[in-house]
Amino acid sequence: MEKAVNYLASHPVLFFIAIIVSLMILFSFLKRVVRFFLVVAAFLVLYAAWLHFIGGNMHGPFLHIEQWLNSLFHFFGNLFRFLFDLLKFPKKGMVDAAATTLLSGSFQP
């Protein structure tokens, strides 16, 4: 592994090509993940329409999904706010205070 890293470090053109190829692979993967989530969302909409059509109880399953999505959004919101605060105030004391606030759960958006 060290030989490969040293080889790429000594040949910057190959290193740049390797970075471009790895970014292409990463974005291809992310594109497929987004497409998968769009298909899942489409199936959820069709499921909700089917339950509405047959007169089923939509409240239970979709309330659970709503709570899960809300907790997911709050988690990522707190994570990005912590990262932005880290970029704004890179002092050690501020980082420790921000990490303590984020981990304690006392952080209010």
Question: Between residues 63 and 76, which one has the greater pLDDT?
Answer: 76
Please state the domain extents for the chain.
1-56, 57-109
Q: Enter the pTM of the model.
A: 0.47
CA dihedral 30→32→38→42, nearest 10 degrees, is: -160
pLDDT per position as a tens digit, 32-70: 999 999 999 899 888 878 887 887 777 777 778 878 888
Q: What pLDDT sits at residue 38?
A: 95
Residue 109: helix, strand or coil by DSSP? coil
Both tokens of residue 11?
A: 């040949």
pLDDT at 36: 96
pLDDT for the residue 31: 95
In angstroms, how far apart are the furthest CA atoms of the chain?
A: 68
Looking at residue 107, the DSSP 8-state letter turns out to be -
pLDDT at 106 over 60: no
DSSP 68-100: HHHHHHHHHHHHHHHHHHHHH--SHHHHHHHHH
